[in-house]
Structure 1
Amino acid sequence: MGYTPVIHQDIPLPMSAKPEDHLSPYADALRAHFPAKEDILREAKQQTQQRRQFKKAAVTVASCLLLAIGWLDPVISTDRLHTAIGQQATVQLKDGSEVILNTNTVLVAEQHLRSRQLHLQQGEALFKVKHEWRPFTVYANQAEIRDIGTVFNVRHSPQGAIITVVEGSVEVRTTQEARLLTRDMSVNTQAGAITDYRCTSTNSAIAWQHGRLMFDAKPLTEVVAELQRYHAGPIRIADKRIAQYQLSGEYDINGIDALIDVLPEILPVRVDRHEDQSVVIRSR
């Protein structure tokens, strides 16, 4: 039996195609749907820069808000206090301070976040301030009175204000100047200026709290102006020559009509009363 030898021969096989060759037909479509590596890196860099800018802006806004809060002083509460002619009242404010209102007085008391502001719109008031970190300021006819630990009296007048310190000290400011007042000192303010800066007896300035009126050689014009604050009807001086007559003494604040009636016994005048409660003082 014959034997046929088998001859082995290496036959080259086809090389496998590279993976990317299989995707080549779809490359353009894939690029249209998926960003390139360079685009991804560029986008990441832009987002990082945007985040940094946002953080800087947030820090700036926060700083501005903190600064604004430091300056803002919003009103927390407002109370309007008033008395009628001849009436007096003692009121405790929300901060614990005490205010005594004289006749025919209007006071607006504002409690702010960072301050206490009181506006004396007319009349007269004595302030006993409870000390705390918020400043206590009274405004009266272009005058600004700031408490520095004190008891003080403020009287609103058509021309300005009269400030008298009973205890401690206050700073009085106008549009033109500022003065520091201590105990038993008084000033008048007028047209933005401080006038009549003097030492005084506080007894007469605050006598009204004790139901008294005190006059020390006061001209009749000033006496009548004081009496008018407690009298419903108008009081008028008919003759200019009697306007400078002087009156001294201490009188009951609840007896204004009695004082008017007794004037002819003190000064050379006569008093005419009318049904509308008006009073005319004439020369005798």
Structure 2
Amino acid sequence: MRLNTQTAIAVTADPSAGPGIRLISGQASFTMPKHSSQALTVLAGHGRIVADRARFDVLCLAEKTSVTCVAGDVEVTVGERLATVSQGQQVVYDGDGLRVAATADLQEATSWQDGYIVFRGTALSDAVAEINRYRPGRVMVLNATLGQKTISGRFRTERMDEILGWIERATGANARTLPGGVILLS
């Protein structure tokens, strides 16, 4: 298991059910050994993910969870619905239920493990939420119209302040820096 920044987990304590993890919030990558004798169960958001020989990534933020299968197959259960997610696929679920599995960009889904974040036509407000996971303080978008502008790019997570400068130039935003690492974009 590999954890991304601002991730909280709990290990389940039922030895009869095999290894289990509750992903409370954040993002984690799981790799099961090829010759594993037990399945791994991951509880995240409103769902349950089970894998015995797979590599997969789970992102659980707010009420939305996405499961990306990098290798093998995983089973995702939300309520009464079950989906098998195969290599190169991603499924998303929330309180409204389980969506249909779709093709995933594996490089984008796992880029955090190499120290990058990727935005592709991402609303600035969503990009800022992701940026806030990687830097101290907080960036806030003060204008709804600005928050809807989209950005694209691949950025090093260790250089968040450089990304903010790029966002200013690309979107025409004005940044105001306050104490405590707070940055206001308008």
Query: Number of residues paired by the alignment?
Result: 184
1:204 aligns with 2:100: no
From 80, 88, 94, give the equivalent of 1:184: 88
* Equivalent pair of 1:212/1:250 in contact (CA under 8 Å): yes
Amino acid at match of 2:45: N
> Residues of 2 paired with 1:132 and 1:188: CA distance?
26
* 2:19 aligned residue: 116
Give the deviation of 1:106 after TM superposition. 1.3
Amino acid at match of 1:208: W
Give the deviation of 1:157 after TM superposition. 1.3
Q: Which runs of 4+ in 1 moved over 6 A?
A: none
SS of match in other structure, 2:22: strand
Structure 1: 5+ residue stretches without partners: 1-98
From 80, 85, 101, give the equivalent of 2:3: 101
Alpha-carbon displacement from aligned partner over 1:56-100 (angstroms, at most 9, x marks no partner): xxxxxxxxxxxxxxxxxxxxxxxxxxxxxxxxxxxxxxxxxxx11
* 1:126 aligned residue: 29
1:278 aligns with 2:174: no
Amino acid at match of 2:131: L
Structure (1/2) with the larger helix percentage: 1
1:258 aligns with 2:162: yes
SS of match in other structure, 2:166: helix
Q: State TM-score, norm by structure 2.
A: 0.93
Give the deviation of 1:148 after TM superposition. 3.9
Tell me which of the two structures has the higher relative contact order, counting C-alpha pairs closer than 8 angstroms and 6 or more residues apart.
2
Amino acid at match of 1:217: G
1:161 aligns with 2:65: yes
1:219 aligns with 2:123: yes
| Aligned-CA RMSD value | 1.5
* Equivalent pair of 1:174/1:192 in contact (CA under 8 Å): no
The structure that has the greater radius of gyration is: 1
- Counterpart mapping for 1:58-73 below 5 A: none
> Residues of 2 paired with 1:145 and 1:261: CA distance?
39
Alpha-carbon displacement from aligned partner over 1:166-186 (angstroms, at most 9, x marks no partner): 001100001131100001111
Q: State TM-score, norm by structure 1.
A: 0.62
Give the deviation of 1:195 after TM superposition. 2.2
Structure (1/2) with the larger strand percentage: 2
Give the deviation of 1:114 after TM superposition. 4.2
Structure 2: 5+ residue stretches without partners: none
Q: Percent identity?
A: 21
